[in-house]
């Protein structure tokens, strides 16, 4: 079939050339249409329920909302994890599903189960399914700047900017943060209510009944129809004040008689601060799952530019996070490496082939293979990102292998066949390609097989490295097809008959290799001893190499998480954040801007407490830093924050933080979850584990949430007294919630905006517990009592939040790791915790975070890599028809590992998933070189050559393809070795392993394999 394919191509050369040009055109078009992002979509199929319950404490939220909903959600098919986070007035419930579960089916299942549980929830619970977003969905953040009040900025964001951005295709939502949400606030005056005999319920009913507009039907007049509209709404504070509440004799009591009516604000659960100057208003654009991030951000910027032109004078929109910048830098890093690698490969081709035309023919396979890969990526739904383009960078040195073998053989036939066999140039090209088509196809198949284990990885590592494997397989398949069709056609057109002589580089290599080979054949025991010594050294060095999951990609900016005392008020938290920002800007000039968010966001996607702050540090270009070192800069920031006692902190990055939260529900390299029923015991155990882990060498930013210390005024109802006054517990609770939290009882249309109408007690009640205790209540029968006659306020403390996973309570201790590898750190920490912390019955630990990912990836690779080696061994057996020769070629695998291990140890890098991928790539290249040598040895034996002449002549004749394969693959990765942009941290360990392994594999293959072939295949014959 392969011969027929080449014969067809050469018989229709111009058709093949036209198809090649068409392929290039389709490739360019496909690349333009590829979604572009910094990373592949690493999110699981995840559905969030965000429910709000104003006024409820965390334990009330857990008992009355989280538990009933969890009970209903448990047991949904394909569910893997069910987590909930109950906080003051809010619960965030997350359901994770198995990989491959349709997101819309999952949302439908959660929605149906939630509908079943809704009747058991309190009446004031609101909310539902969160937008279809992922940890990578936070694409663009900006603040509203200008001479407006916080309420005016928030109104502008809510009603002018947000609706226009939400209309863009691909936008899941626009989160509005900070500022003050304006309301029509009605604050009852207890004295006035009592004096006029009006109850709070009557005031509420009057407001609800007089703030709605409704249609009444139609009235005909002649041939026309009039639509009757009942205008019962209000549009101003005065019209609201004039609403009648109750008639007392001839006098009508209005809202203005018994309450203060003014513009107010909804209760705030969070705030945004900026640059130490004051509060700000922030907009956050959230993209849909699977959206083309680059295109969406471009559309967002264009729409914001249009909106900005219509804003009031002096008002502007100031971006501080733009994912497109990270995308451009990350994709630019690997694109530059790809281009540099291509240039190096072309130079090496010219040096090894010594023929400009031949080098051009071989080099043309690079752009054609890459463009064909783009077509396949588009077809299979892959995006152009750091990992998929990184796969191309890895494969760039492998793409020319097939073309090199084909063109080298064509050059040889064109030089010699005319003298011996005759035939046209086209026929000689066909004969040359047919000679090598089967070994070329086998070699490409072997390389493709070694990357198949990457497709079996699970979780985060699977989502990251499956695109790598797919793009490599796509590119190799395209290069094989082109090598058997387009390359022979180009060779028949461009190559001329020329003297077939070795170029200078190969002559120099042969001059060095020939005496080395002769000495090795003369003294094989020394070579075996040296190889064994290197193997023993590699085995000894391997345990000293640290192990981790993934190198941390430098996203550019820094996110500092601050935690203050649990009992802190929002106002005090804002003041503390401003002081920290002022100190950072004063002492760390590398920081250009700081935007910080305290408390919960508007949508509830990030339900932090009032004492939690995420500070986004926008950094100046690295060229303006005092020292170009991110670790040093982090230490400088740490020194400043250490100057604020009582503040715990942690360093992370925007995407890194969200991915960690998605995977484990917490942040950090290591997350130690403590499960158990009692919150106080969980807090005590967390504090003990915190103290133990903090002492483990390598522990950095160890943190456990302060989950106790929130101050509560517990209202204990005297049920007998309440019954005597005709009050129920629910009525007392509603009264307190209305006076403190406020109750939204309607909306008022104002210039196209829907402004909440809120019934809420005066500010003085929220400033003093004594004032609250003394509040006066008017009963339905007109009697007046004080709150302390039915309620006693008791000071107590409680939890900040209640976390649950699969219906069990838990808390977490998290830690980053610095200065050592992850696996050894976790091992030391586990032994220390087991030795010093005794768990009560019913409590247990779970170690997660990046460590959990590393363990899962290592276990999977331990299974699939041997399977891949067995497949390669089977393919070699089929190729050679001889088990001994197949085993001989497989001996190249440990020879390749030697250099990879030494290179990894010398560089100081850890054995991570990228480094493991490097070892996998080594397998294919090392086995391919063995196939090249052994195949030629067999050919020489078939020609009647015997003894040392077989291995000596065979090794010398195949020196060029072996050196070309190894050097082109190695030099193709050199740009990744020296790259410095975002993402280079992930690619560098892979490049180090492959380059180091190729050095040992090539050297030992050229020396050891001839000796082994002579020893075991020729049975030691030297004649």
> Tens digit of pLDDT for each residue in 56-107?
888 889 999 999 999 999 889 999 889 998 888 888 898 989 888 898 999 9
Cα dist from 463 to 326, 347, 451, whole Å: 19, 35, 15
Q: Mean of the pLDDT values across residues 208-212?
A: 78
**Model pLDDT, residue 1023:** 47
Mean pLDDT, the chain, whole residue set? 84
pTM of the shown model: 0.81
> Tens digit of pLDDT for each residue in 899-936?
899 999 988 888 888 888 888 888 877 787 788 788 87
**Model pLDDT, residue 740:** 80
| Contacts of 645 by beta carbon, 8 Å cutoff, 6+ apart | none
DSSP code, position 77 = T
In a 13 Å sphere around the CA of 768, the CA atoms on its Cβ side amount to 7
**Model pLDDT, residue 757:** 87
| 688 against 855, higher pLDDT | 688
| Rounded-to-integer distance, Cα 457 and Cα 185, Å | 56
Q: Mean of the pLDDT values across residues 197-222?
A: 80
Asked whether 558 and 656 are in contact (CB, 8 A), the reply is no
**From start to end of 268-404, where are the E strands?**
270-274, 278-287, 316-322
**Model pLDDT, residue 443:** 79
Please check the confidence at residue 316 and state whether its pLDDT lies above 70.
Answer: yes
| Rounded-to-integer distance, Cα 933 and Cα 941, Å | 12
> Tens digit of pLDDT for each residue in 691-710?
999 899 988 878 888 777 77
Which pair of structure tokens corresponds to residue 968?
């082109």
Lowest mean pLDDT among 412-421, 610-619, 979-988: 412-421
**Model pLDDT, residue 213:** 67
Q: What domains lie within the chain, and their CATH numbers?
A: 1-33+363-499 (1.20.1640.10), 44-133 (3.30.70.1430), 182-215+232-265+711-798 (3.30.2090.10)
> Tens digit of pLDDT for each residue in 550-594?
777 778 788 998 988 888 888 999 999 999 999 999 999 999 999
**Model pLDDT, residue 226:** 86
Residue located via tokens 């609706």 = 163
| 542 against 668, higher pLDDT | 542
> Tens digit of pLDDT for each residue in 96-130?
898 888 989 999 999 999 999 888 888 888 888 88
| Rounded-to-integer distance, Cα 601 and Cα 268, Å | 10
Which pair of structure tokens corresponds to residue 459?
């979780």
> Tens digit of pLDDT for each residue in 240-260?
888 888 887 788 888 888 888
| Contacts of 862 by beta carbon, 8 Å cutoff, 6+ apart | none
- String of DSSP letters for 252-289: EEEHHHHEEEEEEEPPPSEEEEETTTEEEEEEEEEEPT
Neighbours of 307 (CB within 10 A): 15
> Tens digit of pLDDT for each residue in 715-730?
888 888 888 888 888 7
Please check the confidence at residue 353 and state whether its pLDDT lies above 50.
Answer: yes
CA neighbor of 289 nearest in space, from 74, 11, 35: 35
**Model pLDDT, residue 1019:** 75
Q: Sort strands 126-129 and 844-849 into parallel, antiparallel or unpaired.
A: unpaired
């Amino acid at each position: 079939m392969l011969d027929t394919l080449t014969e067809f191509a050469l018989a229709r050369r111009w058709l093949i050339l036209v198809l090649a040009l068409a392929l290039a055109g389709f490739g360019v078009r496909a690349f333009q249409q590829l979604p572009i992002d910094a990373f592949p979509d690493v999110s699981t199929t995840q559905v969030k329920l965000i429910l709000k319950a104003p006024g409820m404490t965390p334990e009330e939220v857990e008992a009355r909302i989280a538990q009933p909903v969890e009970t209903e959600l448990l047991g949904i098919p394909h569910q893997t994890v069910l987590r909930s986070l109950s906080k003051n007035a809010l619960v965030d419930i997350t359901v994770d599903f198995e990989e491959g579960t349709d997101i819309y089916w999952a949302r439908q299942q959660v929605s149906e189960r939630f509908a079943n549980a809704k009747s058991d929830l309190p009446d004031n619970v609101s909310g539902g399914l969160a937008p279809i977003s992922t940890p990578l969905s936070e694409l663009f953040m900006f603040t509203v700047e200008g001479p407006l009040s916080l309420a005016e900025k928030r109104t502008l964001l809510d009603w002018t900017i947000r609706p226009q951005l939400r209309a863009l295709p691909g936008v899941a939502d626009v989160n509005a943060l900070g500022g003050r949400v304006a309301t029509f606030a009605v604050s009852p005056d207890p004295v006035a209510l009592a004096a006029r005999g009006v109850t709070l319920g009557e005031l509420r009913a009057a407001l609800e009944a007089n703030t709605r507009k409704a249609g009444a039907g139609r009235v005909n007049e002649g041939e026309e129809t009039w639509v009757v509209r009942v205008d019962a709404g209000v549009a101003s504070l005065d019209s609201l004040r004039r609403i009648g509440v109750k008639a007392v004799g001839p006098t009508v009591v209005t809202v203005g008689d018994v309450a203060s009516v003014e513009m107010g604000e909804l209760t705030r659960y969070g705030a945004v601060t900026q640059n130490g100057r004051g509060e700000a208003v922030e907009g956050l654009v959230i993209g849909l799952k699977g959206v083309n991030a680059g295109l969406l951000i471009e559309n967002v910027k264009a729409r914001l530019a249009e909106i900005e032109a219509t804003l009031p004078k002096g008002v502007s929109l100031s971006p501080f996070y733009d994912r497109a910048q990270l995308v451009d830098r990350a994709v630019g890093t690997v694109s530059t490496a790809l281009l540099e690698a291509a240039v190096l490969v072309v130079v090496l081709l010219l040096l090894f082939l010594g023929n400009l035309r031949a080098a051009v023919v071989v080099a043309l396979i690079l752009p054609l293979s890459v463009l064909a890969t783009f077509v396949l990526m588009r077809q299979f739904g892959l995006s152009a990102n750091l990992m998929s383009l990184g796969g191309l960078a890895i494969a760039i040195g492998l793409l020319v292998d097939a073309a090199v073998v084909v063109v080298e053989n064509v050059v040889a036939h064109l030089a010699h066949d005319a003298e011996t066999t005759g035939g046209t140039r086209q026929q000689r090209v066909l004969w040359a390609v047919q000679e090598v088509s089967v070994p070329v196809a086998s070699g490409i198949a072997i390389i493709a097989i070694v990357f198949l284990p990457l497709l079996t990885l699970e979780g985060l590592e699977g989502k990251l490295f499956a695109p790598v494997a797919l793009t490599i397989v796509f590119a190799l398949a395209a290069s094989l097809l082109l090598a058997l069709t387009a390359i022979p056609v180009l060779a028949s057109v461009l190559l001329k008959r020329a003297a077939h002589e070795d170029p200078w580089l190969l002559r120099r290599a042969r001059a060095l290799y020939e005496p080395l080979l002769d000495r090795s054949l003369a003294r094989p025991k020394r070579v075996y001893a040296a190889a064994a010594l290197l193997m023993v050294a590699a085995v000894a060095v391997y345990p000293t190499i640290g192990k981790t999951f993934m190198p941390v990609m430098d996203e550019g900016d820094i996110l500092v998480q601050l935690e203050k005392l649990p009992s802190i008020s929002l106002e005090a938290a804002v003041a503390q954040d401003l002081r920290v920002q002022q100190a950072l800007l004063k002492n760390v000039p590398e920081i250009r801007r700081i935007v910080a968010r305290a408390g919960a966001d508007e949508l509830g996607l990030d339900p932090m407490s009032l004492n939690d702050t995420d500070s986004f540090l926008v950094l100046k270009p690295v060229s303006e830093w005092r020292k170009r070192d991110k670790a040093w800069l982090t230490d400088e920031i740490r020194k400043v924050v250490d100057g604020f006692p009582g503040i715990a902190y942690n360093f992370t990055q925007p995407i890194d933080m969200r991915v960690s939260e998605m995977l484990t529900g917490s942040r950090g390299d290591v997350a130690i979850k403590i499960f158990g029923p009692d919150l106080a015991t969980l807090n005590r155990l967390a504090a003990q584990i915190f103290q133990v882990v903090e002492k483990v060498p390598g522990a950095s930013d160890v943190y456990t949430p302060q989950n106790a210390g929130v101050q509560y005024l517990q209202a204990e109802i005297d049920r007998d007294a309440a019954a005597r006054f005709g009050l129920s517990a629910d009525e007392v609770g509603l009264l307190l919630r209305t006076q403190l939290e406020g109750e939204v009882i309607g909306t008022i249309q104002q210039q196209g905006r829907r402004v909440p109408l809120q019934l809420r007690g005066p500010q003085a009640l929220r400033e003093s517990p004594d004032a609250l205790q003394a509040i006066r209540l008017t009963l339905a029968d007109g009697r007046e009592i004080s709150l302390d006659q039915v309620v006693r306020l008791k000071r107590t403390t409680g939890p900040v939040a209640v976390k649950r996973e699969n219906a069990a309570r838990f808390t977490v201790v998290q830690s980053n790791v610095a200065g050592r590898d992850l696996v050894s750190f976790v091992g030391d920490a586990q032994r220390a915790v087991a030795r010093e912390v005794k768990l009560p019955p019913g409590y247990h630990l779970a170690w997660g975070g990046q460590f959990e990912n590393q363990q899962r990836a290592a276990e999977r690779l331990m299974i699939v890599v041997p399977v891949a080696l067995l497949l390669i061994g089977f393919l070699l057996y089929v190729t050679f028809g001889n088990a001994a020769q197949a085993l001989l070629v497989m001996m190249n695998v440990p020879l390749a590992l030697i250099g990879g291990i030494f290179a990894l140890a010398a560089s100081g890098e850890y054995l991570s998933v990228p480094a493991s991928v490097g070892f996998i790539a080594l397998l294919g290249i090392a086995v391919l070189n063995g196939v090249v040598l052994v195949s030629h040895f067999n050919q020489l034996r078939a020609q009647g050559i015997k003894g040392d002449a077989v291995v000596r002549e065979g090794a010398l004749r195949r020196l060029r393809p072996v050196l070309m394969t190894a050097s082109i693959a190695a030099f193709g990765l050199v740009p990744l070795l020296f790259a410095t942009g975002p993402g280079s941290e992930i690619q560098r360990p892979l490049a180090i392993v492959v380059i180091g392994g190729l050095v040992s594999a090539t050297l030992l293959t050229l020396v050891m394999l001839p000796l082994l072939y002579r020893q075991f295949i020729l049975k030691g014959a030297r004649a």
